[in-house]
């Protein structure tokens, strides 16, 4: 069975040091640890002694037009080797423009031209790293009028053509679906099962009928329902809970991960042929 867990956040470091083995999987933001040393790396290495760690980056900018950040990839490679990362990934987005890094995850237009561009950059990054990347679908509060295909068709093509794996963020799917008016279940059904390496679940805000990805709440019930459907359709996949703002205790975030574990077990027990 897959291991589930939570994202590693700085404000929970003391709790992790008190009791390092708490979950089956921990996800660390690459840039917070790569070549940083000091306490963050010490905490990560302590956790890693008992628990697999996935590295999740925010700065690769696979959709960007600036040169690929080869030094950033070298830092990622060093960290991944040092902690023997379970897998490494980043987002299907861009965040650098003319050499400026904006710390944002902007969506790319879903065009053939953008697809070729992204596939080439993911391929180049994978060649440098000597491993597959796990690429996450992002939030989008805009729709590019040039888009020629759906977000899910684009994501499937990216995975297929670049031979990468996918981190399917079900909250992002649900928020985009609600704001843009598509069916999130169609999106999830379209995903290629063997390429789904990991899931994200997170909370969002509702404001005047629009949804905002705040990571400041428990996972919303419609996202849990989408998760049930995802398990039914694609089988069990490791889940990481993202909870950043207004963050409660580590125990509360872990409880959310345990809910994912129980829900997954329930769904699998309902499957035909389950013991
Ligand atoms: Fe996410």
**pLDDT per residue as tens digits for the range 15-53:** 999 998 999 999 999 999 998 879 999 999 999 999 999
Output DSSP code: residue 273. Answer: T
Q: Is the pLDDT of residue 99 over 90?
A: no
State the pLDDT at residue 242: 95
Ligand 1 centroid to Cα of residue 29, in Å, is 11
Degrees to nearest 5, angle at CA 35 with 103 and 164 = 60
Ligand 1 centroid to Cα of residue 89, in Å, is 11
State the pLDDT at residue 61: 92
For residues 243 and 221, give the distance between their C-alpha atoms in angstroms, rounded to a whole number.
16
Q: Which two tokens stand for residue 142?
A: 């805009």
For residues 110 and 142, give the distance between their C-alpha atoms in angstroms, rounded to a whole number.
12
Ligand 1 centroid to Cα of residue 5, in Å, is 13
SS3 213: coil
State the pLDDT at residue 275: 63
For residues 153 and 158, give the distance between their C-alpha atoms in angstroms, rounded to a whole number.
9
SS3 142: coil
The pTM assigned to this predicted structure is 0.95
Ligand 1 centroid to Cα of residue 274, in Å, is 31
What digits encode the pLDDT tens for the residues 120-148?
Answer: 999 999 999 999 999 999 999 988 999 99
Task: Compute the average pLDDT of residues 186-203.
Answer: 97
């Amino acid at each position: 069975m897959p291991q589930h867990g939570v994202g590693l956040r700085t404000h929970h470091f003391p709790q992790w040091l008190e009791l390092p083995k708490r979950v089956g999987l921990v996800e660390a933001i690459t840039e917070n640890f790569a070549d940083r040393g000091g306490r963050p790396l010490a905490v990560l290495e302590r956790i890693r002694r008992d628990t697999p760690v996935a590295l999740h980056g925010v700065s690769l900018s696979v959709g960007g037009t600036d040169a690929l950040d080869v030094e950033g990839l070298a830092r990622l490679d060093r960290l991944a080797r040092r902690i023997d990362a379970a897998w490494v990934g980043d987002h299907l987005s861009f965040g650098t423009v003319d050499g400026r890094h904006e710390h944002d995850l902007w969506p790319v237009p879903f065009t053939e031209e953008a697809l070729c561009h992204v596939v080439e950059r993911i391929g180049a990054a994978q060649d440098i790293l000597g491993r597959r990347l796990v690429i996450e679908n992002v939030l989008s509060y805009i729709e590019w009028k040039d888009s020629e295909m759906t977000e899910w068709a684009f994501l499937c093509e990216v995975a297929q053509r670049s031979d990468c794996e996918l981190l399917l963020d079900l909250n992002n799917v649900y928020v985009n679906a609600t704001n843009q008016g598509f069916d999130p279940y169609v999106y999830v059904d379209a995903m290629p099962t063997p390429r789904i390496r990991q899931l994200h679940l997170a909370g969002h805000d509702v404001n005047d009928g629009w949804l905002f990805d705040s990571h400041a709440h428990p996972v919303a019930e419609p996202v849990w329902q989408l998760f049930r459907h995802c398990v039914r359709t694609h089988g069990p996949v490791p889940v990481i809970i993202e909870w950043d703002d207004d963050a409660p205790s580590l125990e509360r975030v872990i409880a959310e991960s345990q809910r994912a574990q129980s829900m997954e077990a329930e769904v699998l027990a309902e499957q035909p042929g389950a013991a």
